[in-house]
Amino acid sequence: MTELPNPAPKPGWREWLLTDAPTSRRQARAAAWYAGWTNLRGNTLAMFGLLVLLFLIFCAAFAPLLASHDPFSQDLGARLLPPGSEGYILGTDSLGRDIYSRLLYGARISLYIVALVALVAPLLGLIIGTIAGYAGGWLDVVLMRFTDIFLAFPRLILALAFVAALGAGIENAVLAISLTAWPPYARIARAETLTIRNSDYIHAIRLQGAGAVRIITRHVWPLCISSLVIRVTLDMAGIILTAAGLGFLGLGAQPPSPEWGAMVSEGRKYILDYWWVATIPGLAIFAISLAFNLLGDGLRDVLDPKESKS
């Protein structure tokens, strides 16, 4: 009696992701994501930046559990205590509020600002840039000259002007930062669109009857996303610094909100004698800005084919 051959073992998930011949679009997309993650994981500095950001998100999410004191509670008898005194891990400020607890809750404000700006500014720039690049002609000229007007002003100065017109507050600060952050994204999207719009497959899609809106949203936007993601990650440090600058000047989050820029502004009066009041929130701003820059550099190596190493 002849023995039947044993069936070939099913490939594991790693072999499924690393195959050179994907059998479906889903497998091809998953393989591309896994290859990108593998490249990013090999970048030590990028992984360090990612870990710092994940730690920040964890602290912001569980701030009520991690905080040792009420961030708004004042105790004038415990004002300006150094770090480690009387149960205050990072000391207290001029009103006796716990700096450690305020730092945790301030992370929520920083992430809130980053998330909103990262949603509004790239989307606005993507729409304007792709329309200008695809349409061309007078519409391209008008939209790009409008973009140049915004690029002619320093971002912080322009944000100050918008906040002065809209009024102080964290929502107005987010809107002002978004209105000053979109022009670079529009430039990138336009450059990508100019490269894509004359491609053979775009001509083929047009011959099949696809309209301009469908071509832009279904075929041009996906090819612009990787460049925008890199730019967004690298811009996060500047966005945080701009938000901190507005808070420092009293035009961002208003007291008693524990915004890091406002905490630095309050502590500058005591910087020589009570260094921790301004230094600790300043170090937090430095750490999150550095983390975004390191992660952005790593993502550029992964997502930008022009930067890939041979």
Across 1-25, average pLDDT: 61
Percent of the chain with pLDDT over 70: 90
Calculate what percentage of the chain has a pLDDT beyond 90.
30
Q: Is the pLDDT of residue 40 over 50?
A: yes
Asked which of 92-106, 199-213, 272-286 is least confident by mean pLDDT, the reply is: 199-213
Residue 195 has a CB neighbour count (10 Å cut-off) of 12
pLDDT tens digits for range 265-284: 988 888 888 999 999 999 99
| The model's pTM | 0.82
Query: How far apart are alpha carbons 153 and 210 in whole angstroms?
Result: 39
Q: Name all domains of the chain by residue range, CATH numbers in brackets.
A: 41-62+90-307 (1.10.3720.10)
What does the block give as tokens for 181?
A: 């952050």
> pLDDT category, 3, cuts 50, 70, 90?
low
What pLDDT is recorded for position 281?
Answer: 93
More confident residue, 124 or 30: 124
